[in-house]
Amino acid sequence: MLPYNEVNHALQRIAKGTGIVFAGTIISMLFGFLSRAIIARYFLVEEYGVFSLALTILSVAVVIAKMPREIPFTKVL
């Protein structure tokens, strides 16, 4: 069994990493929202539709590209 100090240190590192990821996610969502608002305001409806379609296709492509990497890490119970 690990000593209390090592467990405490590990938990602090995990909490710090989680906080950084959470802050990055919030900032990313904020920038995404602002960019969509700016694009929707200054471009035509058709152009915004093309932008949304391209973003959707890119998101699906990223998920498909990451799939072979994630499959070996899944644990079968």
The pLDDT of residue 73 is 64
**Which residue bears the tokens 């989680």?**
18
Give yes or no: residues 35 and 51 share one domain: no
Distance CA 18, CA 6 (A): 18
Give yes or no: residues 37 and 63 share one domain: no
Give yes or no: residues 37 and 73 share one domain: no
Give yes or no: residues 12 and 49 share one domain: no
Burial 14-24 (b: 16+ CB within 10 A, else e): eeeeeeeeeee
Which structural domain range is residue 74 located in?
44-77
Give yes or no: residues 77 and 57 share one domain: yes
Give yes or no: residues 36 and 1 share one domain: yes
The pLDDT of residue 75 is 64
Structure pTM? 0.64
The pLDDT of residue 8 is 87
Give yes or no: residues 34 and 60 share one domain: no
Max intra-chain CA distance, the chain: 63
Residues 14-73 pLDDT 10s: 999 999 999 999 999 999 999 999 999 999 999 999 999 999 999 999 999 888 776 666
pLDDT of 9 strictly over 80? yes
Provide the domain count of the chain.
2
